[in-house]
Amino acid sequence: MATILIVDDHPTNREFLVTLLGYQGHRLIEASDGVEALALARTEQPDLVIADILMPTMDGYEFVHRLRADPAIAETTVIFYTAHYLEREAQVLAQASGVAHILFKPSEPEEVLRVVEEALRLSPAVPVAQPDLADETEFDHEHLRLITDKLSQKADELTAVNQRLTALIELGQQLVLEHDPHLILEKFCHASRSIIGARYAAIGVLEKDKQTLRHFLTSGLDVETAANLGAPITGRGLIAQLLNEGRTIRLHDLNGEAEVTGLPAGTHHPLIHSFLGAPIATPARLYGWLYLGNKIGAAEFSEEDERIIATVAAQVAVAYENGRRYEEIQRHADTLEQEVAERRRVEYELREAEAKYRTLIEQLPAIIYIVAYRETPQTIYISPQIESLLGFSQAQWLADPDLWRQQLHVEDQGRVLAEVKQADEAGEPLNIEYRMWSRSGQVLWFRNKSVPVRDETGRIRYVHGIMFDITEQKRLEERFLQSQKMEAVGRLAGGVAHDFNNMLVVITGYSELLLQRDPPDQERLRQYAGEIHKAGARAAGLTRQLLTFSRKQILQLEVLDLNEVVINMEKMLRRLIGEDIELITRLTEPLGQVKADPGQLEQVLMNLAVNARDAMPDGGTLLIETTVIELDELYTRQYLEVTPGFYIMLAVSDTGIGMNKETLSHVFEPFFTTKEQGKGTGLGLATVYGIIKQSGGHIGVYSEPGVGTTLKVYLPRLKNPVEPIKESIQLETGPLAGSETILVVEDEAAVRQLVSEVLTEGGYTVLEAVNGSEAIQLCQHHAGPIHLLLTDMVMPGGLNGRDLARRLQQMYAGLKVLYMSGYTDNAIASQGVLDTEIYFLQKPFTALTLERKVREVLNAP
């Protein structure tokens, strides 16, 4: 391994030799001029020195002479390493300096290795010839000329560099005020070709996908050539190398074919022999590339050209990026200016609209309000009509969130608050009527309609509502209903009197026969009793119809499918309507579920079918349909008692004689009938109407004379379907008699006596009381147990059946209660629906019904 000293003022030249010779295992040391090299040679005593000739401070010629003048290092072998254009001069200097080997820049690596190996094998330095004085003077002149040429060359190069730098600075100053990216690229393209000295220049900028060209400009081509020039290929060749490696590329001795280099395709592209390119990039983004073709006045681009194009490319990247940003800022500024102008216009229109609608709202005979849903609902706007209608100022109403609740009528408060809560939880519109107290103590009726307003997440943020003063409308409705009521009551009283008179004739007539004559034979006695029983049953049936019509009949509600009711009734309906009427059913599947009394729905279907049959004396078609329908707010505005939502519709249509408008207006009135005398009671449709209304539904009728009639029944469809509970009916097979003690409380003496006799005959111990007070006194003096309280619901004396039961259940633990009544009071049923925990016996009842019910209650757990 030899120690080799490399002396050169260009770091790249030293780096080349160090890299190459380092692979040979030599020890390498470096110096940038003769002074440094001489000091190293004295301390390191290298085996070989490779020295450039022209260097600053001390050139290679002087370095070698001083090296030879020092006995310690005089025999060190030296190789001159110099440029081709100094070949003749280098040989003269080498001969004069005793240097046997010369390497010319650039040299192939094999040549460098060969010369170094040969120099290391040589004997110590070639002796320096001692020229005569004339030769030495000539040599000094030659050396001076070389130095002068070198300095002149360096001065020229420095001048060129200064000119280039001046051009770059001027270009930067010119582009400070330029913001158009295309113009920036165009100027840089022309300037780079001019500064570096190339026949052809091109610049390209890509989109973000790094595939699509956004800008492509050239310089140095005539108009026709530039017009026919194809786009560069970014996926291969030199352009791809520039983009992928992100560094400058300098090449020469190319074959001139553009396709080989990946430059623009086309017959008009200039032939490329030397190439210099650089990527246009900032630390954050690669924008594109800049390349030059064919150096003017030389076969290749220099290292200096490479440094300049790198500088230009960096300037292009910054200037282009600033131009793009300026464009973007300008676009944003233009957009912002438009948005500001649009916002001003919208604000003006909003102010105009607000003023217009505020005037409109303030003139409306209604209260407009807005409730914000924050932590708690809070009214944030109330229209001025609040003061004229309810006597409160806007400030008072907004300051007290509970004022609305306080002014609600006490009888409406529970219902209204429940419906408002339900609407809030479901997020549905509200349509409700209620009464409120004004500040002066006046009762006013309002119809309140509100809708929820949701944000983008679906959450309710506001509720917008309007309260209409309908007090006068309610007064008019009340007067109208009163007149209608009086007319209906008159017709009802006549009908009831007529039917009850017929039944009373039977009852009183046969009763007189039993009382006035001698006791008849057993057969005649049974005949009289049977007729009396029939008349009583007819009276009980009429009573049930009247209760249904008045919506006081108790409903045993079940979850059921209306289709099943129709299917179960179909055979019976076919027998009912006769063979000359065709029955067609069209049932929608799946239909959904309703909550109703199945027996009552069967009665509805039968009544509608009978009416349809009687409307088709010569035969026809009876169509029964079911479907799901939504009754929207438009429909409910026409029928205020109907709540918007989904309903199951049962439609019964006939092809009968139809009805005119006058008949239609009375069709649901009790005892109103179009049938002949003795063929109808007039309670059929009135009963249907009562059942449907009591079930929370709605009924509508549509008819034309000579065309037919359609009755549509709407029942609320259950939102959450459930499995219907089907209880099997078991006939009582066990004994009905018993030995328990029963307290019978009934203010009607005849009924009390009948009940006592039936129960006593059944083996029960019976205690009797006329009213609640007497019953309590009796229990206080009764020593034994009481197992069952059988009490009327409504009794004189101030204590009803429910209150009596509570009092006695405190006295007798486990006391069972059976209520009986001919009229259903709210104490028993809420809205006509029986509490499932209460046992109830509807008057009138038979002895067998009484015995079974009593036994059922006593046997219950």
HSE on the CB side for 294, CA within 13 Å? 16
Amino acid letter for position 584: I
Residue entry with tokens 């039977």: 506
**In this structure, are 228 and 253 located in the same domain?**
yes
**What is the DSSP annotation of 20-37?**
HHHTTT-EEEEESSHHHH
Q: Which one has a higher pLDDT value, 623 or 523? A: 623
3-state helix vs strand vs coil in the chain, percent to 5: 50, 20, 30
pLDDT at 779 over 90: yes
Q: Which of 60-69, 553-562, 738-747, 845-854 reaches the highest mean pLDDT?
A: 738-747
pLDDT band at 677 (very low <50, low <70, confident <90, very high): very low
pLDDT at 427 over 80: yes
pLDDT per residue over 298-320, tens digit each?
888 988 888 888 888 888 888 88
Q: How far apart are CA 227 and CA 559, in angstroms?
A: 84
Neighbours of 204 (CB within 10 A): 25
Query: What's residue 509's pLDDT?
Result: 63
**In this structure, are 485 and 460 located in the same domain?**
no
The domain boundary, picked from 442, 469, 496, lies at 469
Output the six-digit token pair for 318: 């910054």
pLDDT per residue over 706-728, tens digit each?
888 898 999 999 887 766 544 43
Q: How far apart are CA 754 and CA 12, in angstroms?
A: 132
Phi first, then psi, for residue 455 (nearest 5°) are -90, -175
How many domains does the chain contain in total?
6
Neighbours of 544 (CB within 10 A): 15
Tell if the pTM clears 0.75, that is, is over it. no
pLDDT per residue over 783-841, tens digit each?
899 999 999 887 877 788 888 999 999 999 899 999 987 654 443 444 344 454 678 88
pLDDT at 562 over 70: yes
Q: Could you give the angle at which helices 133-175 and 303-363 cross, rounded to 10 degrees?
A: 10
Across the chain, what does the average pLDDT equal? 80
Task: Judge whether 341 lies within some domain.
Answer: no
Q: Indicate the burial class of 552 (C-beta count within 10 angstroms; 0-12, 13-18, 19 or more).
A: middle
Range from 150-164, 302-316, 554-568, 819-833 carrying the lowest mean pLDDT: 819-833
pLDDT at 615 over 80: yes
Query: What's residue 42's pLDDT?
Result: 93
**In this structure, are 652 and 608 located in the same domain?**
yes
**Average pLDDT score over residue span 619-636:** 86
Helical H segments across 123-180, by residue range = 133-175
pLDDT at 532 over 90: no
CATH number of the domain enclosing 605: 3.30.565.10
Phi first, then psi, for residue 816 (nearest 5°) are -95, 150
pLDDT band at 494 (very low <50, low <70, confident <90, very high): low
**Average pLDDT score over residue span 396-402:** 91
CA 694, chain centre distance (Å): 40
The domain boundary, picked from 523, 549, 575, lies at 549
pLDDT at 550 over 70: no
Q: How far apart are CA 475 and CA 480, in angstroms?
A: 9
CATH number of the domain enclosing 247: 3.30.450.40
Helix (H, G, I), strand (E, B) or coil at 624: strand
Q: Are 288 and 206 in contact (CB under 8 A)?
A: yes
**In this structure, are 103 and 74 located in the same domain?**
yes
pLDDT per residue over 183-207, tens digit each?
888 888 888 888 888 888 889 888 8
Range from 241-245, 505-509, 850-854 carrying the lowest mean pLDDT: 505-509
Q: Which one has a higher pLDDT value, 797 or 346? A: 346
Task: Judge whether 662 lies within some domain.
Answer: yes
Range from 51-65, 221-235, 407-421, 577-591 carrying the lowest mean pLDDT: 221-235
Output the six-digit token pair for 21: 């010779």
**In this structure, are 497 and 445 located in the same domain?**
no
Range from 361-365, 503-507, 758-762 carrying the lowest mean pLDDT: 503-507
Phi first, then psi, for residue 230 (nearest 5°) are -80, 170
**What is the DSSP annotation of 61-77?**
HHHHHHHHHSTTTTT-E
Give the percent of the chain with pLDDT over 90. Answer: 25
Amino acid letter for position 41: A
Task: Judge whether 125 lies within some domain.
Answer: yes
Phi first, then psi, for residue 513 (nearest 5°) are -60, -40
pLDDT at 85 over 50: no
pLDDT at 409 over 90: yes
Interacting residues of 717 by C-beta distance below 8 A, sequence separation 6+ = 592, 593, 594, 628, 645, 646, 647, 648
Task: Judge whether 151 lies within some domain.
Answer: no
Residue 793 belongs to what domain range? Answer: 741-859
**In this structure, are 125 and 190 located in the same domain?**
no
Q: How far apart are CA 536 and CA 130, in angstroms?
A: 165
Query: What's residue 724's pLDDT?
Result: 52
Query: What's residue 97's pLDDT?
Result: 75
Task: Judge whether 167 lies within some domain.
Answer: no
Query: What's residue 371's pLDDT?
Result: 92
Query: What's residue 493's pLDDT?
Result: 60
**In this structure, are 310 and 394 located in the same domain?**
no
pLDDT per residue over 447-489, tens digit each?
999 999 998 888 889 999 999 999 988 888 777 656 655 665 5
Query: What's residue 256's pLDDT?
Result: 65
**In this structure, are 194 and 83 located in the same domain?**
no
Q: Are 530 and 567 in contact (CB under 8 A)?
A: no
Interacting residues of 758 by C-beta distance below 8 A, sequence separation 6+ = 847, 850, 851
Query: What's residue 270's pLDDT?
Result: 74
Query: What's residue 727's pLDDT?
Result: 40
Q: Indicate the burial class of 212 (C-beta count within 10 angstroms; 0-12, 13-18, 19 or more).
A: exposed
**What is the DSSP annotation of 83-115?**
EGGGHHHHHHHHHHHT--EEEEES--HHHHHHH
**In this structure, are 564 and 662 located in the same domain?**
yes
pLDDT at 626 over 80: yes
Helix (H, G, I), strand (E, B) or coil at 46: coil
Query: What's residue 264's pLDDT?
Result: 64
pLDDT at 219 over 80: yes
**In this structure, are 697 and 655 located in the same domain?**
yes
Query: What's residue 824's pLDDT?
Result: 44
Range from 7-16, 245-254, 258-267, 569-578 carrying the lowest mean pLDDT: 258-267
Residue 717 carries which DSSP code?
A: P
**In this structure, are 681 and 606 located in the same domain?**
yes
**Average pLDDT score over residue span 566-572:** 84
Output the six-digit token pair for 618: 């010569």
Q: Are 81 and 110 in contact (CB under 8 A)?
A: no
CATH number of the domain enclosing 382: 3.30.450.20
Query: What's residue 372's pLDDT?
Result: 92
Give the percent of the chain with pLDDT over 70. Answer: 78
CATH number of the domain enclosing 94: 3.40.50.2300
Query: What's residue 735's pLDDT?
Result: 61
Q: Could you give the angle at which helices 471-516 and 522-549 cross, rounded to 10 degrees?
A: 180
Range from 319-333, 444-458, 645-659 carrying the lowest mean pLDDT: 319-333
Task: Judge whether 168 lies within some domain.
Answer: no
Q: Are 48 and 76 in contact (CB under 8 A)?
A: yes
pLDDT band at 776 (very low <50, low <70, confident <90, very high): very high
Query: What's residue 145's pLDDT?
Result: 58
**In this structure, are 215 and 272 located in the same domain?**
yes
Query: What's residue 127's pLDDT?
Result: 44
Calculate ∠ Cα 238-241-246, nearest 5°. 125
Q: Are 237 and 262 in contact (CB under 8 A)?
A: yes
Task: Say if strands 765-769 and 788-792 run parallel, antiparallel, or are unpaired.
Answer: unpaired
Query: What's residue 148's pLDDT?
Result: 55
The domain boundary, picked from 407, 435, 469, lies at 469
Task: Judge whether 336 lies within some domain.
Answer: no
Query: What's residue 547's pLDDT?
Result: 58
pLDDT per residue over 174-187, tens digit each?
565 667 888 888 88
Residue 127 carries which DSSP code?
A: P
Q: How far apart are CA 829 and CA 553, in angstroms?
A: 9
Task: Judge whether 149 lies within some domain.
Answer: no
